[in-house]
């Protein structure tokens, strides 16, 4: 029974509420924004949509395989090879060396070289190469508002070639704003400011998010609202009120049709294709103005996507919103591919689909509805302004929800991995030079042997 507007952003991710009437379904955990109603619970506990989302997150997190560290692989080969070289060095001194010098001297030199090889080749530098770079990388990320949950995420991020972004709250600000005030061609009585003053005055007693968007616009323009008499909410359609004895209405197309007024169908069609929600403002005789309300694009979105493209990364957008809105937003910021009108479980399926094509996928989102996809992606990136569930599911959190930090995080990962590889190269290069010296390769030519004490010093210096 009853009527209300429900904020379903938890599930759909969309900021504009959905009007609900008798026989409509409502979802547990979504927020009643306006009005009162009675509903029948058809699913409870583990059967609810929220419980199923949580289970999907747990399943996705459990399916992740830990990445094998590059240094571990190298060390697993390097250590046995060094042991073989050191034993071979001792045996060579005992067999070949003893032919050119007394056996006890060959044994003495052989033992010195055996110890020298073990000491100089001690894989400290190899052991330090990866964790030291990761500690610095994670620290640098934190300084720049990029919180990295674990080293695996930082390692995997440099391989990413596809970034999936949620529309609402990631590309857009996540709250409706007044974009257009379009006066009717048939009425020249009012200016934009006068229309906004009238409609904001009528809307001031409503808690509907579209009403709040109009009130915010009037507030930013410093408009002083006027007294309204006979204010009334018309369920599912809009509201009405009298100003200076004249009757005014503000609402959707259902209200205009009830009033049997003509309106500009072409204008409504254009606004819809641009992803804007039209609010029509009328008197008893005609439409005076059309207000276009939409979730606006963040200032940083376009620059961030350009940077991702420069890094050779494809950008895909997921949204529960309609195709017109999704396409309009995508065209404005240069998105490569769009999946519109998709539900939370479908987001996770689409991530799997992209991964099945051999793509390394990072997903950026901020809502409960994004959590399964964040957990399933190769790297999950949560907006710091988002829900706790999204942040918990993600591998990386961007403070202040700034999308421009995504290319920054990828660059950080690439530089960290370059440092690791550079560290490993120098650790190897040092060993390639140091091991033959320690084994006594120069002795037959120059009579030079490397004292184990100097080998220890060289090993320590290589770590530094």
- Residue 29's contacts (CB-CB under 8 Å, 6 or more residues apart) are 10, 11, 48, 49, 50, 368
Q: Single out the catalytic residue among 166, 295, 321, 370.
A: 166
In 10 A of CB 310, how many CB atoms?
A: 9
Is 166 assigned a catalytic role?
yes
Distance of CA 462 to the CA centre of its chain: 39
**65 in helix, strand or coil?**
coil
Q: What are phi and psi of 235, to 5 degrees?
A: -50, 125
Contacts of 59 (CB under 8 A, 6+ apart): none
Helix (H, G, I), strand (E, B) or coil at 308: helix
Sheet holding 379-383, edge to edge: 146-148, 396-398, 379-383, 361-365, 162-166, 314-318, 337-339
How many other CB atoms are found less than 10 A from the CB of residue 7?
18
Cα–Cα distance measured from residue 117 to residue 104, given in angstroms and rounded to the nearest whole number: 20
Burial class (CB within 10 angstroms; exposed 0-12, middle 13-18, buried 19+) of 45? exposed
CB of 283 closer than 8 Å to CB of 236: no
Straight-line distance from the first to the last Cα atom of the chain, in angstroms, rounded to the nearest whole number: 73
| DSSP H or E run through 234 | strand 229-234
In this structure, what is the dihedral angle of CA atoms 215, 221, 227, 231, given to the nearest 10 degrees?
-20
Largest CA distance in the chain: 121
Q: Return d(Cα 174, Cα 388) in angstroms, integer.
A: 16
Task: List the catalytic residues.
Answer: 166
């Amino acid at each position: 029974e009853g009527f209300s507007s429900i904020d379903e952003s938890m599930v759909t991710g969309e900021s504009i509420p959905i009007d609900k009437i008798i026989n409509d379904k409502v979802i547990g955990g979504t927020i009643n924004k306006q009005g009162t109603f009675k509903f029948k619970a058809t699913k409870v506990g583990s059967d609810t949509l929220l419980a199923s989302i949580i289970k999907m997150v747990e399943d996705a997190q459990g399916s992740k395989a830990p990445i094998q560290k590059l240094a571990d692989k190298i060390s697993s080969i390097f250590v046995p090879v060094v042991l073989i070289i050191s034993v071979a060095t001792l045996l060579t001194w005992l067999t070949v060396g003893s032919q050119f010098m007394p056996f006890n001297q060959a044994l003495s030199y052989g033992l010195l070289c055996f110890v020298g090889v073990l000491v100089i080749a001690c894989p400290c530098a190899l052991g330090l190469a990866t964790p030291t770079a990761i500690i610095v990388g994670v620290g640098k990320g934190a300084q720049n508002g990029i919180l990295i949950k674990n080293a695996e995420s930082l390692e995997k991020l440099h391989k990413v070639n596809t970034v999936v972004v949620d529309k609402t709250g990631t590309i857009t600000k996540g709250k409706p704003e007044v974009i257009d005030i379009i006066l009717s061609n048939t009425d020249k009585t009012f200016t934009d400011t006068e229309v906004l003053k009238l409609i904001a005055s009528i809307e001031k007693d409503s808690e509907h998010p579209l009403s709040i968007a109009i009130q915010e616009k009037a507030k930013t323009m410093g408009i002083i609202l006027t007294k309204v008499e006979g204010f009334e909410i018309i369920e599912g359609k809009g509201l009405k009120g009298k100003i200076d004895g004249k009757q005014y209405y503000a609402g959707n197309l259902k209200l205009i049709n009830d009033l049997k007024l003509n309106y500009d169908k072409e204008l409504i069609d254009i606004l819809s294709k641009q992803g804007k929600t039209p609010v029509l403002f009328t008197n008893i005789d005609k439409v005076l103005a059309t207000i276009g309300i939409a979730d606006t694009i963040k200032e940083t979105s376009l620059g961030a996507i350009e940077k991702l493209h420069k890094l050779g990364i494809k950008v895909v957008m997921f949204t529960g919103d309609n195709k017109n809105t999704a396409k309009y937003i995508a065209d404005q910021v240069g998105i490569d591919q769009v999946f519109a009108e998709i539900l939370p479980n479908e987001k996770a399926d689409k991530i799997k689909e992209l991964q099945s094509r051999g793509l390394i996928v990072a997903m950026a989102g901020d809502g409960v509805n994004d959590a399964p996809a964040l957990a399933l992606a190769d790297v999950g990136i949560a907006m710091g302004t988002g829900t706790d569930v999204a942040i918990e599911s993600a591998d990386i959190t961007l403070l202040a929800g700034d999308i421009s930090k995504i290319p920054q995080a990828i660059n950080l990962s690439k530089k960290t991995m370059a440092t690791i590889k550079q560290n490993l190269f120098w650790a190897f290069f040092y060993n390639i030079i140091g091991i033959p010296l320690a084994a006594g390769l120069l002795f037959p030519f120059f009579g030079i042997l490397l004292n184990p004490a100097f080998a220890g010093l060289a090993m320590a210096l290589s770590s530094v």
